[in-house]
Structure 1
Amino acid sequence: MQIRISLLLTLSLAIALFVVFTLISQPQHLNGMEYEVRVVNGFTDNSSLPLVIWCTSKDGDMGGRALQEHDDFSWVVRTNFWGSSTHFFCTMKWDQKRKSFDAFKVPRDSYRCGLLRKCYWLVKEDGFYFSNDDVNWKKDFSWY
């Protein structure tokens, strides 16, 4: 019985030390995590027709922007202590094309945005590309 109590105390102490060490070494976890979300106009020639983006979340409307070639629209998302946050939803329009998509969603993006928590979107004529390093892009989906 005494061995069982000793083992339980040792295990409890190890867990407590792990939690304290984690909070000390990564204090951002106390207030949640920050993610950078950026949407870039990646069209090769749309100088006369901008890419229009309109983003919203349950916390409010972020408004619309008209992005010329290579312009971007970015914002910071902060998750709470539990790792959840607001879902950001954007609608894109270019010429006759229109597409709505999840620009940031915690269950999907908390891992794929990488250690630096960068969530980049590149919108091109053939679809929407995602990257967490602004170098390696992977097509996520098409306009239609």
Structure 2
Amino acid sequence: MKILISILMLIFFPFFTVFMSLLPPDPLYGIEYEVRVINGFTNNSSLPLVIWCASKDSDIGGRALQEHDDFSWLVKTNFWITTTSQFSCTVKLDRTRRSFDAFKVPRDIYRCSAFRKCSWLVMEDGFYFSDDEVNWKKEFSW
């Protein structure tokens, strides 16, 4: 009986190891999401889209985005699938300014889960969200 168990372990252990390596990272260590904000304006070459993002605990910083530039960062949840806080951004173009939650745990852990990507496209008529950067849905206007 011991020999049979040993043979089965030798046969199935490599398959088990490969299978486990294909699984996403262990939720005990948290899940990582990429948050990305893209300048989708078609003609603002003379005036950049200015963005500044921060959470309650950390200042991610900001950038001046020219056409099709992006600003991105990684957010990692913890064991309880939360982060220390939400990540908010302020976007400014000339005198127009708008703040929004770029990543908020209760809202985004499900809608960003397929690719672990939360993307925002800022355009002339508003802010669009996508989890795959192919299908965009308008979330709100300026």
Q: Same fold (TM over 0.5)?
A: yes
Query: 2:105 — aligned with what?
Result: 106
Cα-to-partner distance string for 1:18-53 (whole Å, 9 max, x where unaligned)? xxxxxx655420111000100000000000000000
User: Residue in 2 aligned with 1:137?
Assistant: 136
Return the offset for 1:142: 0.4
Structure 1 outlier segments of 4+, above 3 Å: 24-27
> Offset of 1:114 from its aligned partner?
3.0
Which consecutive residues of structure 2, in runs of 5 or more, have no partner in the other structure? 1-19
In structure 2, C-alpha distance between the alignment counterparts of 1:71 and 1:96, rounded to whole Å: 20
Per-residue CA distance 1:97-139 (angstroms, 9 max, x = gap): 1000000000000111132111000000000000000000000
Q: Distance in 2 between matches of 1:65 and 1:118?
A: 20
Q: For 1:37, which of 18, 35, 38 is the aligned residue?
A: 35
**TM-score, normalising length from structure 1?**
0.80
Task: Compute the RMSD of aligned alpha carbons.
Answer: 1.2
Match for residue 63 of structure 1? 61
Q: Which residue of 1 aligns with 2:47?
A: 49
SS in 2 for 1:45: coil
Work out the percentage of aligned pairs sharing the same amino acid: 72
CA–CA distance in structure 2, aligned partners of residues 28 and 94 of structure 1: 41
* TM-score under structure 2 length normalisation: 0.81
How far does the alpha carbon of each residue in 1:69-88 deviate from its partner, in whole angstroms, 9 at most, with x for none? 00000000000000001310
